[in-house]
């Protein structure tokens, strides 16, 4: 039982860092660049994607043995579209202003290659528990990436975060940051930072392994 729990935990964690869908797999770039001109839009899109990915992964994994291979992609899209419809109407009812700002990008979650890819590559081949944990990790990693980009662009482009002014009336906003070029620039810098952190972590693990090997040799010789 403990081994299974550890594997499920690893499946969740990998999507946040090691296999982050944006910073590592470079998936979901359309909403990543289109809706992150503010932190609130980024968070809402992240929560919507979280709901769709977790819900569709649960259903695909639960009913995988009854889904014919010949029509599996079509059924996956139907399942995903069902959850997207729920999200779309829920946002329209509860957050109409944000729903208007996100526009067509909510329905376009259906075409998000990250979501369909997780159904085909993972949920359809694993148990419900592993499928859900994988979906939680991947969607959490996607949400973190969205928020990081949205927060940086809103802070520099407007001087605020979630609509709260941070720097006062004397701040001169970098208007380019809330325009498409600012999205590409910020994403490039975040990818650079993430890759730098990944390399530093690898070097640290290599050094740690070398120290452990030296310790083992000393103990063996002693």
pLDDT digits (tens, 9 = 90+) for 170-222: 888 888 888 888 888 888 898 888 888 888 888 887 887 776 666 666 556 65
The DSSP output letter for 82 is: H
Distance of CA 103 to the CA centre of its chain: 20
In whole angstroms, give the CA distance from residue 112 to residue 170: 40
Distances (CA, A) of 199 to 18, 70, 76, 196, 211: 12, 42, 36, 5, 18
- Which residue ranges in the chain fall short of pLDDT 70? 1-5, 8, 211-222
In whole angstroms, give the CA distance from residue 84 to residue 73: 16
**Per-residue pLDDT, 149:** 92
In whole angstroms, give the CA distance from residue 33 to residue 82: 25
**Per-residue pLDDT, 35:** 86
Count CB neighbours of 150 within 10 A: 27
Helix (H, G, I), strand (E, B) or coil at 26: coil
Whole-prediction pTM value?
Answer: 0.84
């Amino acid at each position: 039982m403990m081994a299974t729990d550890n594997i499920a935990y690893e499946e969740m964690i990998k999507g946040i860092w090691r296999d982050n869908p944006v910073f590592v797999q470079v998936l979901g770039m359309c909403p990543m660049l289109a809706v992150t001109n503010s932190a609130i839009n980024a968070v809402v899109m992240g929560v919507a994607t979280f709901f769709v990915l977790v819900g569709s992964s649960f259903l695909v994994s639960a009913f995988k043995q009854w889904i014919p291979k010949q029509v599996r992609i079509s059924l996956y899209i139907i399942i995903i579209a069902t959850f997207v419809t729920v999200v779309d109407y829920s946002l329209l009812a509860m957050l109409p202003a944000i729903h208007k700002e996100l526009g067509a990008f909510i329905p376009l979650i259906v075409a998000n290659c990250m979501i369909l890819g997780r159904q085909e590559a993972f949920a359809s081949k694993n148990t419900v528990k592993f499928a859900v944990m994988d979906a939680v990790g991947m969607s959490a990693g996607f949400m973190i990436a969205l928020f990081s980009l949205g927060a940086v662009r809103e802070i520099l482009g407007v001087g605020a975060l979630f609509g709260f002014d941070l720097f006062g009336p004397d701040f001169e906003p970098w208007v380019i940051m809330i325009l498409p070029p600012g999205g590409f620039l910020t994403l490039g810098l975040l990818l650079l930072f993430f890759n730098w952190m990944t390399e530093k972590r690898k070097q640290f693990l290599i050094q740690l392994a070398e120290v452990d090997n030296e310790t083992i040799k000393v103990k063996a010789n002693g």
